[in-house]
């Protein structure tokens, strides 16, 4: 099996590159000239960019080899997500890998503004020692308003508590529990948050709230504004005017609408504005974390797994261990159902039972549809484009939720109107346990390699299967039998230690009373 080939267009960091090199062939550049990228897109299974390149629709479409693209950073503003999804290309990023760095830089800017650190440094270097000219303000007791309580916003809250600040926050997408856990009083809109914020910091994507003059004027007189998130979230001319007329005291800016900002920008002339060149996530530790998170996500996606840092799939907010366990459950039940049952109509019923969060339903729908369609189509189908492909082939999946945190997670699949197609699997003790196949009760741990036979329940069939498997040098680890009733159809599941040679399948199909043989490797 050939290793996948990956193009890295900008510096990723040695740890990330080393991980990629363990699993793939890698062509890495410190900075690939953007004009060279179009001619290379069809030569790689994955492409990793940072900020210097833009993956437009024209670049993404029409490359059957390309399966994964990644942005080594938190945002994906320079990737056309719609085009990637239509093409079944997984989009990976590294959310939160630089959250601590960005939060710390937020306070670096804030302290620089409040304690006059840049001017004080320049004053001493020029031979001065006028302490009175640089008296500043302390953070303790100030009210901090946080827009966006994602990973960075939460780190900001954690640090702010250490300074003894009072915290208010606005984020319409975050649950009340998150506010409570991080000691942040919830504001339900900006009109509520802004007048209470003597210091305001923003940590949202580009589609977050935009602060123009009308919003900035709602801040109390003498307030300070910090932006280490995305350029363009704060209207720079309005900020400059409110600083000039004294309504705002100062600002710390790491990002700008245009980068680098023009020297004619009015904010350049204000002594109470501290500026840095988009350094928020740029520490050695953060860059290493970004590289590793990006690399592991890319390799997972290339290997058919669903990484938790995939962007164009609705990943539920679970920790990595719980997510991968649920992903394994969905993969097993979907493959067995799609392989062993015949299609009846065009509607699949998915029942989600037990201790599974309701936030997982959308992802599970796409995950199961992708598995079913992969067994039936030659086209590329994965969790990314499963809904689009299902719609184009007239397949729909309906969800029945029977959630119960007191019982084990269980997924059931059946074709609508065909109870004998019912297939069930549960998570027990961290492992996938098959409970039912084609309506026949079973109870076995799903192995890495399996052979399933469907045969008439007649004497001698089981023995003949075992004999043939042994003759082909394949060792049986476990054997499980199930049937609806004596003399009817039966299922046998063999857990195997070795790969299954094709001639063995042909030999098994010649056994009398054998209906079908299914292989899982």
* Cβ atoms of residues 78 and 56 within 8 Å: no
Q: What is the pLDDT of residue 76?
A: 85
Dihedral class, residue 285 (left if φ above 0, else alpha if ψ from -120 to 50, else beta): alpha
On the question of pLDDT at 279 being above 70, the answer is yes
pLDDT in tens, 344-358: 999 999 999 999 988
Which of 313, 321, 333, 339 lies closest to 89 in space, CA to CA? 313
pLDDT in tens, 166-180: 999 999 988 888 899
* Span 133-158, average pLDDT: 95
Give the CATH architecture of domain 315-446.
Answer: 2-Layer Sandwich (3.30)
Which of 283, 282, 281, 238 lies closest to 257 in space, CA to CA? 238
Confidence tier at 95 by pLDDT (50, 70, 90): confident
Please name the residues in contact with 471: beta carbons below 8 A apart, sequence gap of 6 or more.
Answer: none
Asked if the domains at 5-97+286-312 and 99-275 fall in one CATH topology, the answer is: yes
Indicate if the alpha-carbon torsion angle 231, 237, 243, 246 is positive or negative: negative
* Span 315-336, average pLDDT: 90
Q: Give the rounded distance of the alpha carbon of 33 from its chain centre.
A: 28
Instruction: Show which residues are catalytic.
Output: 230, 259, 278
pLDDT in tens, 244-259: 999 999 999 999 999 9
- Does 260 sit behind a cis peptide bond, omega within 30 degrees of 0 on the bond before it? yes
What rounded mean pLDDT belongs to the chain?
Answer: 93
* Span 264-293, average pLDDT: 93
Q: What is the pLDDT of residue 1?
A: 58
User: What is d(CA 182, CA 158) in angstroms, rounded to the nearest whole number?
Assistant: 7
Rg for the chain (alpha carbons), in Å? 29
Q: What is the pLDDT of residue 111?
A: 98
Q: What is the three-state SS of 352-384?
A: EEECCCHHHHHHHHHHHHHHHHHCCCCCCCCCC
Q: What is the pLDDT of residue 90?
A: 95
CATH number of the structural domain 447-521: 3.30.70.260
On the question of pLDDT at 75 being above 80, the answer is no
* Cβ atoms of residues 194 and 215 within 8 Å: yes
Q: What is the pLDDT of residue 6?
A: 98
pLDDT in tens, 284-309: 999 899 999 999 999 999 988 888 88
Q: What is the pLDDT of residue 484?
A: 81
pTM: predicted TM-score of the whole model, two decimal places: 0.70
248: β partners: 223
* Span 21-27, average pLDDT: 97
* Cβ atoms of residues 8 and 20 within 8 Å: yes
Q: What is the pLDDT of residue 487?
A: 79
Q: What is the three-state SS of 408-427?
A: CCEEEEEECCEEEEEEEEEE
* Cβ atoms of residues 437 and 340 within 8 Å: yes
User: Rounded to the nearest 5 degrees, what angle is found at the Cα of 163, between the Cα atoms of 162 and 164?
Assistant: 90
CATH number of the structural domain 99-275: 3.40.50.720
Q: Is 220 exposed, middle or buried (0-12, 13-18, 19+ CB in 10 A)?
A: middle
Helices (H) and strands (E) in the chain, counts: 16, 22
User: What is d(CA 498, CA 18) in angstroms, rounded to the nearest whole number?
Assistant: 31
User: What is d(CA 37, CA 27) in angstroms, rounded to the nearest whole number?
Assistant: 12
pLDDT in tens, 456-483: 999 999 999 999 999 999 999 999 999 8
Confidence tier at 488 by pLDDT (50, 70, 90): confident
User: What is d(CA 122, CA 131) in angstroms, rounded to the nearest whole number?
Assistant: 13
On the question of pLDDT at 135 being above 90, the answer is yes
What is the domain partition of the chain in residue ranges? 5-97+286-312, 99-275, 315-446, 447-521
Helices marked H in 167-229 — which ranges?
176-181, 190-193, 213-216
Q: What is the pLDDT of residue 207?
A: 83
Q: What is the pLDDT of residue 206?
A: 83
Residue 214 has a CB neighbour count (10 Å cut-off) of 9
Q: What is the DSSP string of 141-165?
A: TPEEEEE--SHHHHHHHHHHHHTT-
Q: What is the pLDDT of residue 376?
A: 80
User: What is d(CA 325, CA 328) in angstroms, rounded to the nearest whole number?
Assistant: 5
Please name the residues in contact with 392: beta carbons below 8 A apart, sequence gap of 6 or more.
Answer: none
On the question of pLDDT at 378 being above 80, the answer is no
User: What is d(CA 248, CA 216) in angstroms, rounded to the nearest whole number?
Assistant: 9
On the question of pLDDT at 74 being above 90, the answer is no
Name the fold adopted by 5-97+286-312. Answer: Rossmann fold (3.40.50)
Q: What is the pLDDT of residue 308?
A: 84
């Amino acid at each position: 099996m050939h290793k996948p080939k990956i193009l890295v267009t900008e510096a990723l960091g040695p740890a990330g590159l080393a991980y990629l090199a363990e699993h793939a062939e890698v062509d890495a550049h410190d900075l690939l000239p953007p004009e060279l990228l179009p001619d290379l897109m069809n030569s790689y299974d994955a492409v990793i960019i940072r900020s210097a390149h833009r993956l437009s629709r024209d670049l993404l479409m029409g490359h059957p080899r390309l399966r994964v693209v990644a942005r080594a950073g938190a945002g994906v503003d320079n990737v056309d997500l719609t085009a990637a999804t239509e093409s079944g290309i997984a989009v990976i990023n590294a959310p939160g890998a630089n959250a601590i760095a960005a939060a710390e830089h937020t306070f670096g800017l804030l302290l620089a503004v409040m304690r006059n650190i840049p001017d004080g440094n320049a004053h001493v270097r020029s031979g001065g020692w006028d302490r009175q000219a640089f008296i500043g303000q302390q953070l303790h007791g100030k009210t901090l308003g946080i827009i966006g309580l994602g990973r960075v916003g939460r780190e900001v809250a954690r640090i702010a508590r250490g300074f003894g600040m009072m915290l208010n926050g606005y984020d319409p997408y975050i649950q009340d529990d998150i506010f409570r856990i991080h000691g942040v009083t919830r504001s339900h809109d900006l009109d509520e948050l802004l007048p209470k914020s003597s210091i305001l910091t923003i940590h949202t994507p580009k589609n977050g709230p935009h602060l123009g003059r009308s919003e900035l004027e709602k801040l109390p007189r003498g307030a300070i504004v910090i932006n280490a998130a995305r350029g363009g979230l704060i209207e720079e001319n309005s900020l400059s005017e409110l600083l000039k007329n004294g309504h705002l005291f100062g600002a710390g800016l790491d990002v700008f609408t245009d980068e680098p900002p023009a020297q004619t920008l009015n904010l350049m002339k204000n002594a109470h504005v501290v500026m840095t060149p988009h350094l928020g996530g740029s520490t050695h530790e953060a860059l290493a974390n970004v590289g590793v998170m990006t690399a592991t996500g890319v390799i997972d996606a290339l290997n058919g797994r669903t990484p938790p840092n995939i962007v164009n799939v609705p990943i539920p907010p679970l920790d990595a261990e719980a997510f991968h366990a649920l992903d394994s459950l969905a993969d097993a039940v979907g493959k067995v159902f799609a392989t062993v049952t015949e299609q009846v109509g065009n509607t699949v019923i998915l029942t989600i039972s037990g201790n599974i969060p309701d936030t997982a339903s959308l992802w599970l729908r796409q995950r199961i549809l992708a598995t079913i369609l992969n067994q039936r189509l030659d086209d590329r189908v994965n969790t990314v484009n499963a809904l689009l492909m299902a719609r184009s082939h007239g397949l729909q999946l309906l969800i029945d939720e029977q959630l119960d945190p007191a019982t084990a997670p269980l997924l059931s699949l059946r074709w609508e109107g065909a109870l004998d197609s019912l297939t069930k699997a549960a998570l027990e003790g961290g492992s996938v346990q098959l409970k039912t196949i084609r309506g026949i009760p079973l109870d076995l741990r799903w192995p890495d390699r399996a052979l399933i036979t469907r045969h008439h329940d007649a004497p001698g069939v089981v023995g003949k299967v075992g004999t043939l498997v042994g003759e082909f040098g394949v060792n049986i680890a476990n054997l499980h039998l199930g049937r609806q009733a004596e003399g009817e159809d039966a299922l046998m599941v063999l857990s195997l230690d070795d790969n299954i040679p094709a001639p063995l399948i042909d030999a098994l199909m010649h056994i009398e009373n054998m209906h079908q043989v299914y292989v899982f490797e």
